[in-house]
Structure 1
């Protein structure tokens, strides 16, 4: 039997809340049951929102929960060159293009409430002369993965895209459909990697065999299956766990200011209390 390797990969854009604790418990419980390893990865590619104090708080909160990790912490901001090299590889193969349309321009053409990066936008490269003019003016752009080019590159393999889901304890193959996401962003002028690219790159590099994450990421896994196929990266097995919802029925969020773990700790709650609050004991 191969070694079980999973990871916990928070972004230091705020303090961990009860939803993060729930996810961490799922990750470490699975690793312990399989006598496996947990890697800790700090996904800090968004340098405008990530803060060192939040990273320090993540380490402190995990230790307070009684959760330790194996090996050194991987900080994504230390590896921008690696992600840039991947985009260069895809670019040389004609699979990515520069998109100069702003989020506002894309949002204006979208149905109300749709998210610009998840609506299914598709485009095409600009003529070289027009692209050169825009670059000379310093205009911002996003590197988008061309869904049409990816489909052509994979040929029959595109229709066979899928991944193994063992959320209910029984491994089953799930068909992947990246089409609803359109030409996803893999990087931007000021940020050399998106979540999709950095996440899949690091899972492959670190030998992650099992990815354990919330139900809200299930649909995006189709995009990751596409990237893994294009880059010939090994594909982990996936498990998706239920989310912790707030009083409004929405998932907890740092942006929404949901209560951080340190606030529960200051109130006198223990890690066992938090496990009970997440429904895991």
Structure 2
């Protein structure tokens, strides 16, 4: 593959909106989708729609259908076919296998309750680190299991998560960063130094699901030729993990723009369960696409 600069010089500006069909779209989704669509039109680029439906327990077909209806009502159009992650699980498995052959992945067998107890034990002895989202880092106990112990547990049918050995991955990848054209929660912009170690040994796949958000998003962006990732500030810190995976898998890196979040009257990030900001509810109440643009500050 050519160098990153040469790769993107050959690609048209390509933007994407990638919702999960686990609820109905709200004003925050409208802001991100319209910002990507408007940017693609302004640059003469491409606008893609991707359905991130790897969570089989929460994603539903009626939510996916509603996504198409809501976006079309807003006046958006996108290239066909739409990429649905559930149709590309084999590609994600291949990426997991590539990382595994590099010795960068290990299975962890603890349940969420067991991990919570391990974290509580460590917090009782002092402060225990948390990731940028506030979740305690994985204690890493499964990394010390002997290979025959791991094999027996897997052969027994025990559930497990495949975690990235962060220390080993950082040793292989070296220093990383990304080009930020929007801004982080603290106003960060320009060349940003990646700090994936803040996330600890992140989960990249599970026994029943051969991928995770972090893994599938970097693969999909590369496969689809996405040159500009425009998404909410709540994903700013996760970009460090994405840059690490891009480096380990030999994938090109896009430019990033993290935009402001649309908040409710209490100053909280919008939720898919908030009917007052749901696009379908606003449409039913008589709102127009122009009204939506004014509400989100994109008039």
Alignment match, 1:73:
82
- Alpha-carbon separation, structure 1, partners of 2:210 and 2:283: 37
Alignment match, 2:6:
none
**Stretch deviating more after TM superposition (248-257 or 73-82):** 248-257
How far is the alpha carbon of 1:203 from its aligned partner? Answer: 0.4
- Alpha-carbon separation, structure 2, partners of 1:232 and 1:202: 13
Q: Tell me the SS of whatever aligns to 1:193.
A: coil
Q: Is the 8 A contact 1:117 1:181 kept in 2?
A: no
- Alpha-carbon separation, structure 2, partners of 1:189 and 1:81: 14
How far is the alpha carbon of 1:140 from its aligned partner? Answer: 1.1
Distance 1:195 1:257, change over 3 A: farther
Where does structure 1 lack aligned partners over 5 or more consecutive residues?
A: none
- Alpha-carbon separation, structure 2, partners of 1:258 and 1:125: 49
How far is the alpha carbon of 1:138 from its aligned partner? Answer: 1.8
Q: Tell me the SS of whatever aligns to 1:39.
A: strand
Alignment of 1:126 onto 2:141: no
Distance 1:122 1:255, change over 3 A: farther
2:33 to 19, 24, 27: 24
Alignment of 1:144 onto 2:163: yes
Q: Deviations over 1:19-39 (max 9, x none)?
A: 100111111111111111011
2:227 to 184, 194, 209: 209
Q: Is the 8 A contact 2:115 2:139 kept in 1?
A: no
- 1:231-246 to 2 correspondence within 5 Å? 231-246=249-264
Q: Is the 8 A contact 1:99 1:125 kept in 2?
A: no
- Alpha-carbon separation, structure 2, partners of 1:64 and 1:203: 26
Q: Is the 8 A contact 1:119 1:181 kept in 2?
A: no
Distance 1:244 1:197, change over 3 A: same
How far is the alpha carbon of 1:257 from its aligned partner? Answer: 5.9
Q: Is the 8 A contact 1:5 1:207 kept in 2?
A: yes
Alignment of 1:64 onto 2:73: yes
Distance 1:118 1:208, change over 3 A: farther
- 1:133-212 to 2 correspondence within 5 Å? 133-154=152-173, 158-159=174-175, 161-167=176-182, 172-212=190-230
Alignment match, 1:54:
63
Distance 1:257 1:267, change over 3 A: closer
1:43 to 26, 33, 52: 52
Q: Is the 8 A contact 1:117 1:185 kept in 2?
A: no
How far is the alpha carbon of 1:259 from its aligned partner? Answer: 3.8
Where does structure 2 lack aligned partners over 5 or more consecutive residues?
A: 1-8
Q: Tell me the SS of whatever aligns to 1:61.
A: helix
- Alpha-carbon separation, structure 2, partners of 1:192 and 1:249: 36
Q: Is the 8 A contact 1:97 1:125 kept in 2?
A: no
How far is the alpha carbon of 1:254 from its aligned partner? Answer: 1.7
TM-score of the superposed pair, with normalisation by structure 2: 0.87
How far is the alpha carbon of 1:104 from its aligned partner? Answer: 2.1
Distance 1:143 1:271, change over 3 A: same
How far is the alpha carbon of 1:171 from its aligned partner? Answer: 7.5
Instruction: Tell me the C-alpha RMSD between the 2 structures.
Output: 2.1
Q: Deviations over 1:83-130 (max 9, x none)?
A: 011101100110111011222222331669x67995332521521222
